[in-house]
Amino acid sequence: MSDNTQKLLEISNLQVYFPVPGGILQRKVAEVKAVDGVSFTLHRGETLGLVGESGCGKTTVGRAIINILRHVSPEVHIGGSVYFYEKDGTRTDLAYLSKKDMRKFRSKIQMIFQDPYSSLNSRLSVRQIIAEPLEIHRPDMSAKERNEQVELLLQKVGLQPEYAARFPHEFSGGQRQRIGIARALATRPDVIICDEPVSALDVSVQAQVINLMEDLRQEFGMSYLFIAHDLSVVHHISRRIAVMYLGNMVEIGESDDVYFRPKHPYSIALLSAVPQPDPERKDKQRIVLHGDIPNPLNKPSGCSFRTRCPIARPECADFTPQLAEHENGRFVACPYV
Amino acid sequence: MEKEQISDNKDSSIHESYGAFVRQQFRKNKLGVISLYFLITVILTAISADFLANDKPIVASYKGSIIFPIMHEYAVSLGLSSWERDIALADWKSLKYDWAVFPPVPYSPSNTDPNIMQSEMGPSSKHWLGTDDIGRDVLSGVIHGSRYALAIGVVAMGIALFIGLFLGSAAGFFGGMTDVIISRIIEIVITFPTFFLIITIVAMFREGNIWLIMTLIGLTNWTGTARLIRGEFLRLRNLDFVSAATALGYSQRRVIFRHILPNAIAPALVSAAFGIAQAILIESALSFLGFGVPPTVVTWGSILERASSSINAWWLAVFPGLMIFLTVSAYNLIGDALRDATDPRLRS
C-alpha cells in the first residue's frame, strides 16, 4: 500500500452498543456490544473486504458508517469516530452529525443491500426508484436530464433503458440487485458500502454482478467497503481484507496475505472452511472450531475468541488483545502468532 | 425503437403496476365482483334517488309553461331560486297539469299518502313495497335510505381512517415513547363499549342528528385501523428499502408518505371495507332502538323500527332488512376480495 493513496474513510475505535430493554418500563437491562472498538482506514479507489461469520457485527459497521442506526433504534449507543475525508483533505466525523448535517454527506456515501427483494420499494417504478436520489441531491436537474440519467445508469448496470417503466416485481433477483446498484450510483458517491450484495444470488449471477461492480468501481473511481461471508468472493474483489469476530477486528492485511497466509487463529479456521475446487489437493486441513459463538450479551473476558481458540492460554482471559503490526500493513490481534 | 419496445413487452401480463395487479386479482373473485356491481347499483340509486322516488314530477307542463320541479328544488335548496307562490305550498299531485312525467315511484319518503287513511298497507300496485303506519311509501324510503347508508359508511370510516392512519403511522414510525403513549390510548378506546357510549351521547341531545351519529361512529371505530397501520409500519421501517431511503438522505416526510405508507395502506383499506359494514349496522341498530335519526328522516334502520310497533306489517321488516343485509354483505365480500387481491402471496 503506497503512502500517497488518499484516505477516504477512517474508522477509529467504533463502538455500537444496542440496549436490551426489559421489565415493565422497558428500561435498559443489558447491552449487546455489536461492534466493540473497530478501527480501520479505507483509501480512495480501494476495495476493502470485511468478513466474519453471522452476528460478528460486520453489517452493523456498514450501517454505522452511513449513519442509519439511530433511525431504526434511537437508543443505540455509538462511540468512536467515522471520519470522512474530502478530496482536499478536510475531514468530518460522521458519527455524531445531526440528521440535517448528515444530509450533505448522503450523496457521497451510498449502500447496496443484501436482499434485492426488500431493498426496492415495490410501489415505485424503476424510473422513480433511480430518479429519486437525483431529485433530492441534484435539484438543479430538469426532469428531462433526470430521465436521461436514469437511462444511462440502467445501461451502465447492464439493463435495457426500456425497463425504466417497469416495477420491481417484474425482475429477477440479479436484475433487482442491478437496479439497487444503479440507485446507489445515481448520486455519484465516493464510496459504496456493499452489505453482502451477492449473498442472495445464484452463483452464476454472483459472478456477473461482482464483475459489473468491479467495472463500475474503476469507471467511476469509487471505493467499496465489501461486507460478505463468502471468502472467495471477497478475495476476488478486495485489495485488502479485514476479519471480524464478535464485534472485534482480529486481522487486517493485503488480500492475498490474509487469504493464503492467515495468521490469527480465527482467520486460519475461517479460511480453512473455504471449499477447495481441486479435489486432488489435500494439503489444506479443515480446522473445525468447537463450541458455539459466545452470546454477545455475555462475552468472555479478555480475548473474546479464547473459548474456541486452538492455541488459547490462561493469560488470554486477562487482557484484550489489540491489533499489532506484524509486517507492512498487516495487523493481527493476537500476541501468540 | 417503438416497435422494439412493443415486442420486448410481448409478455404484457407481467408488465403492470401494483394497482393493475390488484385489479386483475380482484376480478378473479366472482363474489367480490358481484358485490362491487351491487354496490355500484346502490350508489347510482342513492345519487338519482330524487328522480326515482319523488312526489314532484320530473317534468311537467303547468299553466302553459314547461317546469322541472325536481331540478328546480335543487336550485332552491342551493339558494339560486325560489318557488312561485301558487306552487310553493301546493300538493304536487293535485295540481292541474297539462301533462306531467312522474318518477317511477311517485312518493317522497317522508310524505304521507293522503288517500290512505288507514294504518299500514301491504304491497300493492300503488305502493309496491307497502306503506308504514302513517302512510309513507316503503319503497321510496328504501331508495332514499340508501343515501344515509352510504353516507354513514363513507363519513364514519373516513373519520376513522384519518385518525387511524395518523396515530398508527406515528406510533409505528417513531416507536419509543410515542408508540407507548399511542398504544395505551388505543387500548383505552378499545375498552369503551362503543354502542352504549354512542347511545349515551345521542341521548344527551334532544334531537337525533344523523351527522352526529356518523361522527360518533367514526370517532370510536378507528382503533382497528390504527393497530393495523402501526404493525405495518413496524414491519416496513426495518426493511432495506426504508434504510436505503434514509441512506439517500430523504426527509422523514418523504420516507413516511412515499415509501412506507403506500406499502401499508392495503390492509387498512381492507379493514375500512369491513368498518363501513360495521358502521351501517351500528346506525341501523341505533335507529331500530329509537336513538338514531329524527322521525322525519327515513333510513333503513328507522323503517325497521316502525316494524317493531306493527307486528303484522312484515314488509316493514323484510325490505329494509334485506337491503341492510345485502349492503353489509357486499362490503364484507369486497373486503375479503380486496384482502386476497392485495396479498401477492395468494397470487393465483
Strand B65-67's sheet: what is its strand order? B65-67, B59-62, B99-101
Residue A336 to residue B271: CA distance in whole angstroms: 64
Residues 108-167 of B with CB under 8 A from A: none
Query: Smallest CA–CA separation between B249 and chain A, in Å?
Result: 5
Give the closest residue to B23 by CA, choosing from B338, B265, B276.
Answer: B338
Interchain CB contact of B16 with A (< 8 Å)? yes
Residues 6+ apart with CB under 8 A from B203: B291
Q: Check residue B5 and give its pLDDT.
A: 39
Query: Smallest CA–CA separation between A60 and chain B, in Å?
Result: 13
* Residue position matching grid coordinates 338514531: B292
Q: What is the pLDDT of residues A231-288, one digit of tens each?
A: 888 999 999 999 999 989 999 999 999 999 999 999 998 888 877 777 676 666 777 7
In total, the C-beta contacts within 8 angstroms joining chain A to chain B are 79
Q: Check residue A3 and give its pLDDT.
A: 44
Q: Check residue A135 and give its pLDDT.
A: 92
**Is the per-residue pLDDT at A75 higher than 60?**
yes
Q: Is B133 exposed, middle or buried (0-12, 13-18, 19+ CB in 10 A)?
A: middle
Query: Model-level pTM greater than 0.95?
Result: no
Q: What is the pLDDT of residues A89-117, one digit of tens each?
A: 888 899 888 888 888 899 999 999 999 98
Over residues B150-175, the mean pLDDT reads 92
Q: What is the pLDDT of residues A165-177, one digit of tens each?
A: 888 888 999 999 9
Give the torsion sign (CA, B22, B25, B29, B34): positive
Query: Smallest CA–CA separation between B189 and chain A, in Å?
Result: 21
Question: Nearest CB to A115: which of B9, B240, B245?
Answer: B240
How many C-beta neighbours within 10 Å does residue B217 have?
A: 27
Contact call for A162 and B4, based on CB within 8 A = yes
Over residues A58-70, the mean pLDDT reads 90
Q: Check residue A231 and give its pLDDT.
A: 87
**Is the per-residue pLDDT at B3 higher than 50?**
no
Enumerate the domain spans of chain B: 55-101, 138-346
Query: Smallest CA–CA separation between B170 and chain A, in Å?
Result: 14
Percent over 70 (pLDDT), chain A: 95
Interchain CB contact of B344 with A (< 8 Å)? yes
Residue count of chain B, please give it.
348
* Residue position matching grid coordinates 449473498: A199
Contact call for A133 and B248, based on CB within 8 A = yes
Q: Check residue A225 and give its pLDDT.
A: 95
Residue A198 to residue A208: CA distance in whole angstroms: 10
Q: Please say whether the beta carbons of A194 and A47 come within 8 A.
A: no
Q: Check residue A1 and give its pLDDT.
A: 42
Q: What is the pLDDT of residues A112-169, one digit of tens each?
A: 999 998 999 988 889 999 999 999 999 999 999 999 999 999 999 999 999 998 888 8
pLDDT band at B274 (very low <50, low <70, confident <90, very high): confident
What is the fold of B138-346?
MetI-like fold (1.10.3720)
Q: Please say whether the beta carbons of A97 and A107 come within 8 A.
A: no
pLDDT band at B96 (very low <50, low <70, confident <90, very high): confident
Q: Cell digits for B245?
A: 431511503
Average pLDDT, chain B: 83
Residue type, A126: V
**Is the per-residue pLDDT at B1 higher than 80?**
no
Contact call for A160 and B8, based on CB within 8 A = yes
Over residues B223-228, the mean pLDDT reads 93
Give the torsion sign (CA, A106, A108, A114, A116): positive
Domains within chain A, CATH numbers bracketed = 7-108+191-200+221-332 (3.40.50.300)
Q: Which residues of A touch B244 (CB under 8 A)?
A: 111, 113, 119, 180, 183
Phi-psi region of A302 (alpha: psi -120 to 50; beta: other; left: phi over 0): left
Interchain CB contact of B17 with A (< 8 Å)? yes
Contact call for A132 and B248, based on CB within 8 A = yes
**Is the per-residue pLDDT at B15 higher than 70?**
no
Contact call for A113 and B18, based on CB within 8 A = no
Q: Give, in order, the Cα–Cα distances in Å from B159 to each of A219, A265, B219, B276.
A: 54, 64, 7, 11
Q: Which residues of B touch A106 (CB under 8 A)?
A: 247-249
Question: Nearest CB to B246: which of A71, A109, A124?
Answer: A71
Burial track A221-246 (b if 16+ CB lie within 10 A, e otherwise): ebbbbbbbbbbebbbbbbbbbbbbbb
